[in-house]
Amino acid sequence: MLLARRLGRARHATTIRAVSAKDASIAYQKEKAVESDSCAIVDKGTVGPYRLRRPLKIPLSHRGMEVIQDPLYNKGTAFEPAERDRLGLRGLLPPKVSSMDEQCARIMLRLRSFEDDIQKHMYLSELHDRNETLFHRVVVRHIGELAPLIYTPTVGQACLEFGHMFKRPRGMYFSADDIGQMNAMVQNWPMKDVRVVVVTDGSRILGLGDLGANGMGIPIGKLALYCAAGGIAPHRVLPVVVDVGTNNVELREDPLYLGLKRPRLTGAAYYEVVDEFVTAVLHRWPKTLIQFEDFESSVAQPLLDRYRDKILCFNDDIQGTGATVLAGVLACLRQTGKTAQDLKDQRIVMCGAGSAGVGVSTVIKDAMIAAGLSEEEARSRFYVLEKEGLLAKQGMSPADYDSLAPEQQILAESFDVPTAKRGDSLLDVIKYAKPTMLIGASTVAGLFTEEVVRAFHEGCGGKPIIMPLSNPTSKCEVSASDAYAWTNGECVFASGSPFDPVEYEGTKYYPSQCNNMFVFPGLGLGASVAEARVVTDAMLRAASEACANSVNVEEMARGQVFPSVDRIRDVSLDVAVATVESALRDGLATREELLRPGVDVRAFVEAKSYFPAYVPVVTDPGFFDN
Question: In the complex with ligand LMR, which residue's Cβ is closer, 152 or 564?
Answer: 152
Question: In the complex with ligand LMR, which residue's Cβ is closer, 147 or 411?
Answer: 147
Tell whether 450 is in a known binding site: no
> In 3-state terms, what secondary structure has residue 620?
coil
Residue 317 binds ligand LMR (CB under 6 A): yes
Contact 354, 441 (CB under 8 A): yes
Contacts of 185 (CB under 8 A, 6+ apart): 172, 174, 178, 280
Inter-helix orientation angle 321-335/537-549, to 10°: 40
| Residue 509, φ and ψ in degrees, nearest 5 | -115, 145
Tell whether 294 is in a known binding site: yes
Q: How far apart are the first and last CA of the chain?
A: 41
CB of 241 to ligand LMR, least distance (A): 15
CB of 156 to ligand NAD, least distance (A): 8
Question: In the complex with ligand LMR, which residue's Cβ is closer, 203 or 536?
Answer: 203
Q: List residues near ligand NAD by CB under 6 A.
A: 204, 206-207, 296-297, 317, 321, 324, 351-357, 385-387, 441-444, 447, 469-471, 475, 496, 514-516
Contacts of 389 (CB under 8 A, 6+ apart): 422, 423, 424, 425, 426
CB of 562 to ligand NAD, least distance (A): 10
Question: In the complex with Mg ion, which residue's Cβ is closer, 58 or 303?
Answer: 303
Inter-helix orientation angle 132-141/100-113, to 10°: 70
Q: List residues near Mg ion by CB under 5 A.
A: 293-294, 317
Contact 4, 161 (CB under 8 A): yes
Query: In the 8-state DSSP scheme, what is residue 293?
Result: -
CB of 23 to ligand LMR, least distance (A): 32
Q: Give residues 248-307 in contact with ligand LMR (rule: CB under 6 A).
A: 294
Tell whether 471 is in a known binding site: yes
Q: Closest by alpha carbon to 424, among 384, 452, 471? A: 384
Query: In the 8-state DSSP scheme, what is residue 85?
Result: H
Binding mask 131-160 for ligand LMR (x = CB under 6 A): ---------------------x--------
Active site residues: 151, 222
Residue 495 binds ligand LMR (CB under 6 A): no
Contacts of 359 (CB under 8 A, 6+ apart): 315, 317, 318, 319, 321, 322
Q: Which does 480 bind (CB under 5 to 8 A by kind): ligand LMR, ligand NAD, Mg ion, none?
A: none
CB of 440 to ligand LMR, least distance (A): 12
Q: For ligand LMR, which residue of 200, 436, 443, 471 counts as binding (CB under 6 A)?
A: 471
Contact 347, 436 (CB under 8 A): yes
CB of 215 to ligand NAD, least distance (A): 12
Q: Using CB atoms, what's the residue nearest to ligand NAD?
A: 354
Question: In the complex with ligand NAD, which residue's Cβ is closer, 239 or 352?
Answer: 352
Q: Which does 276 bind (CB under 5 to 8 A by kind): ligand LMR, Mg ion, ligand NAD, none?
A: none
Number of amino acids touching ligand LMR (CB under 6 A): 9
Q: For ligand LMR, which residue of 516, 528, 544, 550 counts as binding (CB under 6 A)?
A: 516
| Residue 72 buriedness (CB in 10 A; 0-12 / 13-18 / 19+) | middle
Tell whether 375 is in a known binding site: no
Inter-helix orientation angle 520-529/568-585, to 10°: 40
Tell whether 204 is in a known binding site: yes
Tell whether 293 is in a known binding site: yes
> In 3-state terms, what secondary structure has residue 381?
coil
Contact 546, 522 (CB under 8 A): yes
Name the binding residues for a divalent metal cation: 293-294, 317
Name the binding residues for (S)-malate: 204, 471, 515
Residues that bind ligand LMR (CB under 6 A): 152, 206, 294, 316-317, 471, 496, 515-516
